[in-house]
Structure 1
């Protein structure tokens, strides 16, 4: 079982809660957010230059509609919106949890049919299971999974017929039969239990294996399509948060991480904590899915 990866670079950003990392092939760039610091980042792979924008609300996940100009379909802490960071223009589409002021959105992703999904969680306190996984499509916002504590690990099989999802505190990743034509779920079952830490952001590679960041577990677990643990990669950070394949050949694994709730002593012991790590891998990923403009509901009237 492989226990190491080859570190190529560390993007030194010291994020509090780096998340939502994804590769945009057309612009050869990497994108992610620091949720707690309301920041959006873009890293140009060829020039190794970093751009960042302050966001009007905590940006938790997003899909890239275009990069010239930059247009995102996003979940912010308080809802779904269209966002243009270069101008600051924000158009709310839906804010389904205005009646739950203690909740915020968290992990999200675009499915293989161009729909956008994102889940909510209790933001503070004892983290009761008040969260919901939502699907955003041309018909509006739909609540799909309920009673979640910290929704994470959202991704789809290469053929788009299986969806993976984790409620982080359980330590388990579940799989669902997925109906591509309507986005419906059925047949929920246990896919895997992580070997250490808790399951956070995940991605599927070209062979159908699932790569999952192990928050609090200083590593990345790789599972076969049958849920067998096939590799466990150690990392120099204890709180990896999300993973994405990228690079020109989709064989670079990018890992975001967090410094959230770490003591000063812990930060000194982990100088790469909060940075984005890029590793050469023997694996190859799949292109990130793009939101389908035809599936985006009209923004709310201003």
Structure 2
């Protein structure tokens, strides 16, 4: 990668948020509220940052939370908690379960997910005994699945036997679904029927090597895919053919998810984690678990869909 290309598209670090999450994930920009949201899975909380006030609010969750999406109702989200998918009100704390397809599989929990362009919620599960950096011991364990829940509360598995479900996002037109299985170091692409949710024509979009694992992803206004590379201290932007366009080097080793937002929709927002890092490693990278915001040049984000189920 020609490093001289980087400043043309990704500028300086604007600021970081000293959240010190154990496992921050699911970065989202709320266009209506003009704030940044993210979750701490292990800490069982949602946090949001307001650029106008520089304040951070914390919402304690009733269960560990892997991901969530906004809904049309104020303060209500749809969330993939560890044991199922539910509507949840951040203020009243009212919870309504919608689906718990793996409730009886004690080793599994929900992880990454998001809403498709038509307003349906998707979330994937993982077996917690699977380490992100180990794909050698996947036999004789119950693997996860990627689920879709629709307006009729019908919850179906769309991709099965997933080690760690990550990197879910859609192309701008919604007709290509991207999904990563982190330990397998693979981002797959599928043709997506926007009406029926049927997936077809699975192919390899991109692969990683060594100690770098594709985690959270997002698609920008040019239909390029951004992927946080856990273990590699990098966020990578791929063109629509899966070729690397640019690399953003980070001061921490475990970037976990990405979003594009901000008042002009030109901030690259990256969550990170300190989960599983040894004390001596944390001394080297004390900003692990913080949220990083970079300035983009000539690149904009796509508004996050609202879940309508």
TM-score, normalised with respect to structure 1: 0.93
Q: Distance in 2 between matches of 1:99 and 1:67?
A: 31
1:99 is displaced (CA, Å) by 2.6
Match of 2:219 in 1: 204
Match of 1:24 in 2: 30
Match of 2:115 in 1: 110
Contact preservation (8 Å) 1:194, 1:221? no
State which of 117, 120, 127 in structure 1 corresponds to 2:125.
120
State which of 168, 175, 199 in structure 2 corresponds to 1:154.
168
The 3-state SS of whatever aligns with 2:71 is strand
Contact preservation (8 Å) 1:5, 1:280? yes
State which of 10, 16, 19 in structure 2 corresponds to 1:13.
19
1:178 is displaced (CA, Å) by 0.5
Match of 1:291 in 2: 307
Contact preservation (8 Å) 1:7, 1:277? yes
Match of 1:44 in 2: 50
Please identify, of 189-198 and 206-215, the stretch whose mean Cα deviation from structure 2 is larger: 189-198
Q: Deviations over 1:230-253 (max 9, x none)?
A: 111101110000000000111000
The 3-state SS of whatever aligns with 2:52 is coil
Match of 1:236 in 2: 251
Unaligned runs of 5+ in 2: 131-136
Report the number of matched residues.
292
CA change 1:67–1:114 in 2 (3 A) is: closer
Cα RMSD, aligned residues only:
1.4
Unaligned runs of 5+ in 1: 297-302
State which of 58, 69, 78 in structure 1 corresponds to 2:64.
58
Q: Distance in 1 between matches of 2:32 and 2:103?
A: 36
Q: Distance in 1 between matches of 2:41 and 2:265?
A: 25
Contact preservation (8 Å) 1:154, 1:163? yes
Match of 1:95 in 2: 100
Q: Distance in 1 between matches of 2:200 and 2:243?
A: 22
Q: Distance in 1 between matches of 2:51 and 2:240?
A: 30
- 1:136 matched to 2:132? The reply is no
Match of 1:299 in 2: none
The 3-state SS of whatever aligns with 1:26 is coil
State which of 184, 189, 193 in structure 2 corresponds to 1:170.
184
- 1:218 matched to 2:224? The reply is no
1:195 is displaced (CA, Å) by 5.6
Match of 1:266 in 2: 281
Q: Deviations over 1:135-158 (max 9, x none)?
A: 010231011111100011100000
* Ranges of 4+ aligned residues in structure 1 off by more than 6 Å: none
Contact preservation (8 Å) 2:72, 2:307? no
Contact preservation (8 Å) 1:129, 1:148? no
